[in-house]
Chain A
Amino acid sequence: MVQICSPMVGKVLSVDVKVGAEVKKNDVVVTLEAMKMQIKVYAPSDGEVAEVNIGIGDVVSTETVLVALK
């Protein structure tokens, strides 16, 4: 299981993957907004999306596991 945490504090702008989807390394999984910038969160490795723990508008921190891959 690979847990993808938020790289910084921010608000979820869009969730770009669904549970069950196959992702490749460096695919965008979530887009956040912080510091008036869109922050793309990338998959660190290939895998299948096992969990999506957040929704649009959620405020997340570096402790938050956004998405988990298997």
Chain B
Amino acid sequence: MSKKYEELKSRRETIYQMGGEKAVAKQHKEGKLTARERVDYFFDPGTFTEIGTFVKHRITNFGMEKKNVPAEGVVCGYGKVNGRMVMVGAEDYTAMAGTFGEYHGKKFANAIDKAKDMGIPFIGLNDSGGARLQEGIDTLEAYAWLFNSQNLASGIIPQIALLLGPCLGGQAYHPVMQDFVIQSRNHGYMGIAGPAFVKAQLGIEIDLETLCGVQAHAVKSGCTHIVAGDDKDCLDRAKELLSYLPQNNKEKPARVDTGDDGMRMVPELDGMIPEQTMYPYDMHEVIEKLVDNGVFLEIMPDFAKNVIIGFARFNGRSTGIVASQPNWIGGVIDCDAADKVSRFVRFCDLFNIPLVNLHDTPAYMIGPDQDWKGILRHGAKMLFAYIDATVPKITVIMRKSFAGAYLGMCCKGTGADIVYAWPEATITIVGAETAASVIFAKEIRNAENPDEVKAQRIKEYSDLYENPYHAGERGYIDDIILPSETRKKICASLDLLENKTVVRPWRKFSNINM
């Protein structure tokens, strides 16, 4: 073999060894795969093509000139995932703790640029000790390149972040700015600062798991979308999520033959939910009965549980589902729920995924707590998101839909193409008791028998308005249907809306309340 070929072979070999035997053994001992093992597991066998293998930092200060960081601590490249081209950037904790330096950042940003230009999804596998402090401004500016690249790719290609190790400091904006964050409950951590900084600057003692683990982000902060177990589980969840998404914003998600008949009736739904609007029930059971084969990929299942969002299929079509959850704080919409729904609606709109909205909500949450937290500006995001969205939107009003929540969950006037209501539905401005006590206050006060008059007026209002028929008479409801017909109606509506187009006058964007 020629010397030149031998040199290539040996240089490659060194890079493929990553941080060396000891560092790899340590990674394995922590229950983690190496970056290259993760990449191997993720892609269809033999399809991965690496880019930037030989990229190297150029820092000479603090002894860095002697420091060899294989592949600059991030393995980048593309390959096929279930036959579809996907780009990854996989940080290598064994190579100088996967620290983020100038050329590490450059490789990462270039991979995203390439993915954007080629219209393929980008998946980031985060496992890094943070900024490479030896590089000073060079490392700091590289973060800007990364954020810039991912921002400019946002809305063009789906971007998914996997937290497979630490991701702390400003670097944590990288996963959060992507479309979905999948966090490993075993060893995924994210935060604006780790425990050491928090102790030094605030005097608070807190451990890494509590500050930055899955409880912190999947339950409290709402930054994490999906929690999974070990590396393989996280990678499997990413593949599952990808199956619902298109390659880019010019395509529709692939339609899959699920073997479930779109015209299937669902008799179990008739009489399944309590008619008494006060009683809660689990909306998951309704969703599972409606969608193809009962398969539902829930997003953010542990944050703002009063609404449910996620992906499923109707007659093989990938569909975003937004549903009230009466089982958790009555399915009322609070600030967190509004944030959760609006970003999901905008994601679906960006990537041509139709929306199905299932209403059973009493209202936007009232009271000083939520009003002062900004329920008006948070709730407004849902209105903006639904009205802006041009994808097919189908609404089913199952039971309660009152006041602002009727508008915020997507009604005819706030963007729904087709609206169905169940016979159980009560669709009106407020409940009969509230309405009667306002309209007939004087009459009730002056009556000989106020209780009798009040009860009579409440009944009158209720008979007239607490039903789906008044909205149906005005055409705000396209049809009132039996629950058992719902799946069939949704599938037929998606057929109708398949090639829906919307043309609006040019503007930069709507001024959504951020």
- Bound-state CA distance A8–B369 (Å) is 9
Name which of B278, B329, B331 has the most chain A CB atoms within 10 A of its CB.
B329
Question: B365 at interface (Cβ–Cβ under 8 A)?
Answer: yes
**Interface range on chain B: under 10, 10 to 19, 20 to 34, or 35 or more?**
10 to 19
Encoded as 1 (CB less than 8 Å from any A CB) or 0, chain B from 319 to 353 comes to: 00000001111111000000000000000000000
The closest CB in chain B to the CB of A37 belongs to B330
Question: B509 at interface (Cβ–Cβ under 8 A)?
Answer: no
**Interface range on chain A: under 10, 10 to 19, 20 to 34, or 35 or more?**
10 to 19
The closest CB in chain A to the CB of B274 belongs to A38
In the bound complex, do residue B365 and residue A38 qualify as a contact, i.e. CB atoms below 8 Å apart? no
- Bound-state CA distance A46–B327 (Å) is 20
Name which of A37, A38, A39, A40 has the most chain B CB atoms within 10 A of its CB.
A37
A44 CB, nearest partner CB in chain B, Å? 11
8 Å CB contact of A35 from B279, B365, B369: B365
In the bound complex, do residue B365 and residue A8 qualify as a contact, i.e. CB atoms below 8 Å apart? yes
Encoded as 1 (CB less than 8 Å from any B CB) or 0, chain A from 27 to 68 comes to: 000000111111110000000000000000000011000000
Residues of A within 8 Å of B415, CB to CB, are: none
In the bound complex, do residue B365 and residue A36 qualify as a contact, i.e. CB atoms below 8 Å apart? no
Residues of B within 8 Å of A61, CB to CB, are: 369
In the bound complex, do residue A38 and residue B278 qualify as a contact, i.e. CB atoms below 8 Å apart? yes
- Bound-state CA distance A38–B374 (Å) is 25
Interface residues of A in 12-36 (CB under 8 A from B): 33-36
In the bound complex, do residue A36 and residue B431 qualify as a contact, i.e. CB atoms below 8 Å apart? yes
Can you list 22 pairs linking A and B with CB atoms under 8 Å apart?
A: A7-B328, A8-B332, A9-B367, A33-B278, A34-B329, A34-B330, A34-B332, A35-B332, A35-B363, A35-B365, A36-B277, A36-B330, A37-B277, A37-B278, A37-B280, A37-B332, A38-B278, A38-B279, A39-B280, A39-B330, A40-B327, A62-B369
Known contacts A8-B332, A35-B332, A37-B331; 19 further A-B pairs (Cβ under 8 A): A9-B367, A33-B278, A34-B330, A34-B332, A35-B363, A36-B277, A36-B362, A36-B431, A37-B278, A37-B280, A37-B330, A37-B332, A37-B362, A38-B278, A38-B280, A39-B330, A40-B280, A61-B369, A62-B369
